[in-house]
Amino acid sequence: MSLPRPITPHLWFDTQAREAAEFYCSVFPDSNIESIVRIRDTPSGDCDVVSFSLHGQPFMAISAGPYFKFNPSVSFFVNFDPSREAGAAARLDRTWNALVDGGQVLMELQEYPFSKRYGWLQDRYGLSWQLILTDPAGDPRPLIVPSLLFTGEVYGRAEEAGAFYRSVFDDSGAGQLARYPEGSSPDRPGTVMFSDFHLGGTWFAAMDSGHEHGFGFNEAVSFVVNCRDQAQIDRHWARLSSVPESEQCGWCKDRYGLSWQVSAIALDKLMNSGDQQIVDRVTRAFLEMKKVDVAKIEAAARGE
């Protein structure tokens, strides 16, 4: 059985969640802010949680203090396909100019062996984007695809991780796989130069990098899995949670250090009910939890 909605990237900001969401919605077509919910009396104080969509890809963002910083271990591919859009290259350039304003270039926007036009940047908030003019002969991909860079202690495990994630989520499948050839030092031949796969309806990319980057996965970017019921929560939690000390409020870390939020459709509906008293009661309940307990969440919503 497939997940009820796509896996949702969740972005942790100090105070700029709403501002950043508005900025991203101004950059990408067919984008909008869906809801803004204030959760009160958390360990970070009162926090705004913003749900928004960028060209069909759902995102969430929270303003919850200066505890985690974005880094390029998680970035977002933006695919511009000239076979589907006559002005793809021009729109890529416009998007690049908007995102790089106030940010920094990680790889210059230019031609590379794998693309006629590609560049990697960090935007004004530190979030990383890879803009690429895709090969018209290849299979189409969504406009925005989360990308995972396996470095440091998890270097060389991108292929293994892709297979693991596909074993966790129903209706998943592999896509492309390109390996580093001989002479790619510091990357070992055979490790993953590029791969992609879909988990349910959500595409991901994954790559290894043997360079000394000095960064790795952290809680600044996590991935929200909205489950139908307690049984599905239990199943995903059992597979994904590998760091007991990181378990809190439905958050967990997997064996590679990537953060997930194993949540529930029922919780999402209650938090977006528009009733601040319900939101406050539910917030107090889930702040005490590690794994989400749907029955306790629903009882808190009723005031029990």
Q: Which fold has domain 218-304?
A: 2,3-Dihydroxybiphenyl 1,2-Dioxygenase; domain 1 (3.10.180)
From CA 270, how far away is CA 286, in angstroms rounded? 12
pLDDT attached to residue 44: 87
In CATH, the architecture of 7-67 is: Roll (3.10)
Q: Which fold has domain 74-208?
A: 3.30.720
pLDDT attached to residue 85: 87
> Where exactly are the structural domains of the chain?
7-67, 74-208, 218-304
Give 166-181 pLDDT, tens digit per residue: 999 999 999 999 999 9
pLDDT attached to residue 182: 95
Contact of 156 with 191, CB cutoff 8 Å? yes
**105 half-sphere exposure, CB direction, 13 A CA radius:** 8
Peptide bond into 29 cis (omega under 30): no
CA distances 67 to 46, 56, 63, 76, 274, Å, are 15, 29, 10, 21, 28
Give 224-240 pLDDT, tens digit per residue: 999 999 999 999 999 99
Q: Note if the pTM is more than 0.85.
A: yes
pLDDT attached to residue 1: 34
- Whether the domain at 7-67 and the domain at 74-208 fall into the same CATH topology: no
